[in-house]
Amino acid sequence: MSEYANTEELMTVDQVAALLGMSEKAIYNRVSRRAIPYIKLGGSLRFRRSDIERWIKENTVQPESAS
């Protein structure tokens, strides 16, 4: 069995933009600043859904507890 047989499906820029409710331009901007995890395959950008979900979690601001 190939080591890539269980590889997670990769998402395109437009799929990530739709998932995050952002424009493709905003995704490209974050890629250029290395502010979002991505994979570069030749001239194409791809994103692992698990990386994007982890990135969302890491960038979620929790509310302060009321004192």
What does the DSSP assignment read for 16-56? HHHHHT--HHHHHHHHHTT-S--EEETTEEEEEHHHHHHHH
Q: Please report, rounded to a whole number, the percentage of residues in the chain having pLDDT higher than 70.
A: 87
Residue 11 CB neighbour total at 10 angstroms: 20
**Residue 20 located in a structural domain:** yes
Q: What pLDDT is attached to residue 8?
A: 76
Q: pLDDT-derived band of residue 5, with 50, 70 and 90 as boundaries?
A: very low
Residue 40, amino acid:
K
Tokens found for residue 42: 């030749």
**Residue 63 located in a structural domain:** no
Q: For the chain, how many structural domains are there in total?
A: 1
**Residue 2 located in a structural domain:** no
**Residue 18 located in a structural domain:** yes
- The domain in which residue 36 lies consists of 10-58
**Residue 3 located in a structural domain:** no
d(CA 64, CA 3): 44
Would you say residue 1 has pLDDT above 50? no
**Residue 54 located in a structural domain:** yes
Would you say residue 65 has pLDDT above 70? yes
**Residue 25 located in a structural domain:** yes
Q: Which helix (H) or strand (E) holds 57?
A: helix 49-58
